[in-house]
Amino acid sequence: MLRWVFFLVIFIIIDIYAFQAVKTITKNSWIHILYWLISLVVVGNFIYHYYGTNKSDGLNHAHAFAFGFLLALVIPKMILLLGMFAEDIFRLPHAIYRYFTEGDAAKGNYFPSRRQFVSNITLGIAAIPLASIIFGIYKGKYNFKVLKYTLTFEDLPHAFDGYKITQLSDIHSGSFDDIEKVKYAVNLVNEQQSDVILFTGDMVNNRADEMLPYIEVFNKLHAKDGKFSILGNHDYGDYAPWDSEAAKLQNLEDLKAIQKQIGFNLLLNEHRYLEKNGEKIALIGVENWGTGGFKQAGDLKKASQNIHANDFKILMSHDPTHWAKKVITDDYHYHLTLSGHTHGMQFGIEIPGWFKWSPAKWRYKHWAGIYKEMGQYINVNRGFGYLAFPGRVGIWPEITVIELKKGTATA
């Protein structure tokens, strides 16, 4: 209860300060009432869904939208707060000067009036994240992008020159609210006509039954060399309450069965070989392994048993921290690792080829796209679905297509 009191106090401070911009622009009492009414409804709805409802089945769509609308309210108001505070930095010296020079003649009104143009500018700036968040909730979460990369390797088997991989990650089926948009994305995947489809974990948020409405959608995925998958941290059911440990374990078995229904070959600390014209590459899949308190069930050594050191290797590992902590320093050379997990925090700014930023970079060194260290590559997929915040702003849902080429590797 104490945390909600703290939250309300902080929010009220932000709200009062932000209101100064509105009050400077207009004296219309109805607009003032509307301002406070919207705040009351949005904050009340958030507190109700996160404190007054049963979350035994995890977070549902109503919880997600309550959080999304709160962000849409708070972030613009924080910008208003900063704008008004910046103006007060200049108003304060003026007030001090009037206090000492005018004294009682000022009748206690030492601060100069707020300037309307400052409030106009601040409101204009605040409107940008507001519009972006609303777009992200209603359109951005299904704004699927196909990102294509070509990676060159000197030791790639000749038969795999031009081999195409489609990577999907972080479906989070329990968050979806529009099955037709999901069908569109699956069709988009098939249009890439890749040789193999690799899914790098987090099929659900918590429970296997979240995937039931989408089995007949995702089983339409097709690639001539098959579909392979691994588990992500959410797939184990660790973030939902269970009546018993047996129920939790059964949920995981149910999810494995669903993956089989879809046609995925689930790799649990094991490997397969992809073969073509008498040559082969090793496909290794580990269970989730991540730093920062995430499950560490991945066993790279076990998964790579009986693989030759000189084999060309593609590793599927959900959390990119595994690559930095374990993979690139391993005795074996893992040519390409495919990860997800970060979602790019579903928020950021990207100008392809020029600029890439997200708050995710403060948590993850490798958070989106292709990275290369010690002669090894990793691709961190931005995710197919979404979680918690019911939208995406600037960091769009991703379908990755990687073409392998034989040749002299670039630096």
Question: Lowest-pLDDT range, 14-18, 206-210, 333-337?
Answer: 14-18
- The Cα 145–Cα 368 span in angstroms is 13
Q: Average per-residue pLDDT in the chain?
A: 92
The percent of residues above 70 in pLDDT, for the chain, comes to 94
Would you say residue 37 has pLDDT above 60?
Answer: yes
Domain boundaries, the chain: 2-138, 144-406
- Asked whether 281 and 160 are in contact (CB, 8 A), the reply is yes
Q: Is the pLDDT of residue 100 over 80?
A: no
What is the pLDDT, as a whole number, of residue 410?
61
Q: Which helix (H) or strand (E) holds 119?
A: helix 116-138
Q: Please, are residues 316 and 333 in contact by the beta-carbon 8 Å criterion?
A: no
Residue 112 pLDDT: 67
- What confidence category does residue 107 fall into, taking pLDDT thresholds of 50, 70 and 90? low
Tell how strand 313-316 and strand 270-276 pair up: unpaired
Q: What is the pLDDT of residues 233-290, one digit of tens each?
A: 999 999 999 999 999 999 999 999 999 999 999 999 999 999 999 999 999 999 999 9
Task: Report whether pLDDT(337) > 60.
Answer: yes
∠ CA 271-315-311, nearest 5°, is: 70
> Taken in order 386, 387, 393, 394, is the CA torsion positive or negative?
negative
Whether residue 102 is predicted with pLDDT greater than 80 in this model: the reply is no
Instruction: Decide: 295 and 288 in contact? Cβ < 8 Å.
Output: yes
pLDDT digits (tens, 9 = 90+) for 136-183: 999 999 999 999 999 999 999 999 999 999 999 999 999 999 999 999
The predicted structure's pLDDT at residue 61: 85
The pLDDT value recorded for residue 343 is: 98
* pTM for the full predicted model: 0.90
Instruction: Answer whether residue 110 shows pLDDT above 90.
Output: no
Tokens 């073969």 map to which residue? 275
CATH architecture of 144-406: 4-Layer Sandwich (3.60)
